[in-house]
Amino acid sequence: MPEIDVTEVKSAADLHKFIKFPMELYRNNPYYVPPLINEEKDIWNPAQNPALVYSEAKQFLATKAGKTVGRIAVIINHKEEAELGIKKVRFGWLDFVDDADVSKALIQTAIDFARENQISKIEGPMGFTNLDKAGMLTMGFDKIATMIGLYNFDYYPTHLENLGLKKEKEWVEYEMNFPEILPEKVDKFSSLILQKYKLRVIDFKNKKEIIPYIEPMFKLIDQTYNSLSTYTPITDEQIKTYKEKYFPFIDKNYVICVEDENKMLVSFAVTMPSYSKALQNAAGKLWPFGWWHFLQAGKKNERANFYLIGIHPTYQRRGVTAIIFKEIFVRFSKMGIKFAETNPELEENKNVQLLWQEYKPVNHKRRRTYSLEIV
């Protein structure tokens, strides 16, 4: 039987194989959503990814009988260790054919890398930071992936569990059908909260007016989520990178910001039309025709995705979410949005999960990271 050969990615050609492998693995799968190839290349470019300033990372390809059968990346985030005292090897970009020898060889690569660096724990799949894609799908294999969610075959978790890896963290995702009529209590409560706390919803006339609020949004994310385990603050370099990466996709009608009488941002929500089908049709490339699919998805779409939401701690549990959801309802109704999907939320993050309760959310996906203590 042919042996599994795992080799480090060293050249541009190897990196191209690394990026393209899952696109070939899921070629006929209707739920997999491929990333943009150039954006994937930028992840491994220090000039484009600020996380590489404080992280070590390597990528590996697994081959069998001369054919690519798997991939994995290993990462050490030194900022995480310095600020939180967490010392571990993160593994991600994990994909493999349904062959136990392949998955074993890939995980062994992560174990070997950890031992080389005197680290006793591995965890994944995850990226460099909190804002990167994370979590192996364990439920919802028959649901199309979102632009910021990982997709994997149902055999992946079984392989990792057979190798002795255990559940570390769990994320949940929800899907909602938007009602034709806004619940009366949401409408009344929204108006009451606006008056009580002297708040106002910012009416953006154009996309450029959003720019001054981008940095405050990220700072508000820090304030919203810093009580969660393993959360590390977002750096200025990361803010710049995410702004450049995602701002072109933002539509002013999908951004809701609420400020107080002193013009301080107290809450926001960034949603987008679903670009999943557009990414599938683009097949990893914006040019020459991929951009057209994105343009069409932005113009006419009955599905939207929640990407970021933040609420200042002072205003949490004070009804500010009613304002956000009234605005979302009004805008989605005008644009013909009928379905919305949340981004992955840590199972422990009950505050955020409560945001959706008025819209009868259905938990349609679950995902988790797996870890292994190395003896």
326, 186 contact by CB (below 8 A):
yes
- Residue 362's DSSP bridge partners are 175
| pLDDT, position 369 | 97
- What is the homologous superfamily of the domain 4-173 according to CATH? Gcn5-related N-acetyltransferase (GNAT) (3.40.630.30)
| pLDDT, position 366 | 97
Average pLDDT, the chain: 90
pLDDT-based confidence at 1, cuts 50/70/90? low
Averaged over 263-275, what is the pLDDT? 91
State how far the Cα of 349 lies from the Cα of 333, in Å rounded to an integer. 28
Phi and psi (nearest 5°) for 171? -115, 150
| pLDDT, position 42 | 93
Q: Per mean pLDDT, which range of 29-38, 120-129, 284-293 is the poorest?
A: 284-293
| pLDDT, position 9 | 98
pLDDT-based confidence at 124, cuts 50/70/90? very high
pLDDT-based confidence at 265, cuts 50/70/90? very high
pLDDT-based confidence at 69, cuts 50/70/90? very high
| pLDDT, position 360 | 82
* Statement: residue 148 has pLDDT above 90: no
176-365 matches 4-173 in CATH topology: yes
| pLDDT, position 251 | 86
CA 375-91-143 angle, 5° bins: 125
Instruction: State the virtual CA torsion across 327, 331, 336, 339 in degrees, nearest 10.
Output: -40
Averaged over 57-79, what is the pLDDT? 97
The string of pLDDT tens digits covering residues 99-116 is 999 999 999 999 999 999
In whole angstroms, how large is the CA radius of gyration of the chain?
Answer: 21
Phi and psi (nearest 5°) for 71? -150, 160
| pLDDT, position 13 | 97
| pLDDT, position 66 | 93
* Fold of the domain built from segment(s) 176-365: Aminopeptidase (3.40.630)
Of residues 324 and 373, more confidently modeled: 373
CA 217-222-227 angle, 5° bins: 145
Of residues 319 and 60, more confidently modeled: 60
| pLDDT, position 127 | 94
Residue 168: C-alpha distances to residues 94, 184, 310, 333, 372 (Å): 16, 41, 25, 39, 9
| pLDDT, position 160 | 98
Phi and psi (nearest 5°) for 64? -140, 120
The string of pLDDT tens digits covering residues 207-253 is 889 989 988 998 898 888 777 666 777 788 878 877 777 777 788 88
The string of pLDDT tens digits covering residues 273-298 is 899 999 999 998 988 888 898 888 88
| pLDDT, position 324 | 86
Calculate what percentage of the chain has a pLDDT beyond 90: 57
290, 249 contact by CB (below 8 A):
no
| pLDDT, position 100 | 97
Indicate the SS3 state at residue 20.
helix
Residues 6+ apart with CB under 8 A from 277: 144, 293, 297
Phi and psi (nearest 5°) for 346? -55, 135
Buried b (16+ CB within 10 A) or exposed e, 147-185: bbbbbbbeebbebbeebebeebbbbbbbbbebeeebeee
Residues 6+ apart with CB under 8 A from 72: 59, 60, 62, 91, 92, 93, 94, 106, 107, 109, 110
H helix runs in 163-316, sequence order: 184-196, 211-225, 236-246, 276-282, 290-299
What proportions of the chain, in percent to the nearest 5, are helix, strand and coil?
40, 25, 35
Q: What is the CB neighbour count within 10 angstroms for residue 42?
A: 15
Locus of tokens 């060889």: 105
Residue 326: both structure tokens together: 């009234």
Averaged over 133-154, what is the pLDDT? 95
| pLDDT, position 90 | 97
Residues 6+ apart with CB under 8 A from 114: 74, 88, 89, 120, 121, 122, 374
Q: Is 350 exposed, middle or buried (0-12, 13-18, 19+ CB in 10 A)?
A: exposed
* Statement: residue 354 has pLDDT above 90: no
H helix runs in the chain, sequence order: 12-25, 37-43, 78-84, 100-116, 155-162, 184-196, 211-225, 236-246, 276-282, 290-299, 320-335, 350-353
Indicate the SS3 state at residue 343.
coil
| pLDDT, position 245 | 74
Domain residue ranges of the chain, discontinuous segments joined by +: 4-173, 176-365
The string of pLDDT tens digits covering residues 156-211 is 999 999 999 999 999 999 998 887 787 777 888 889 999 999 999 999 999 889 98
The dihedral built from the CA positions of residue 129, 131, 133 and 139, taken in this order, carries a sign that is positive
* Statement: residue 350 has pLDDT above 80: no
| pLDDT, position 229 | 61
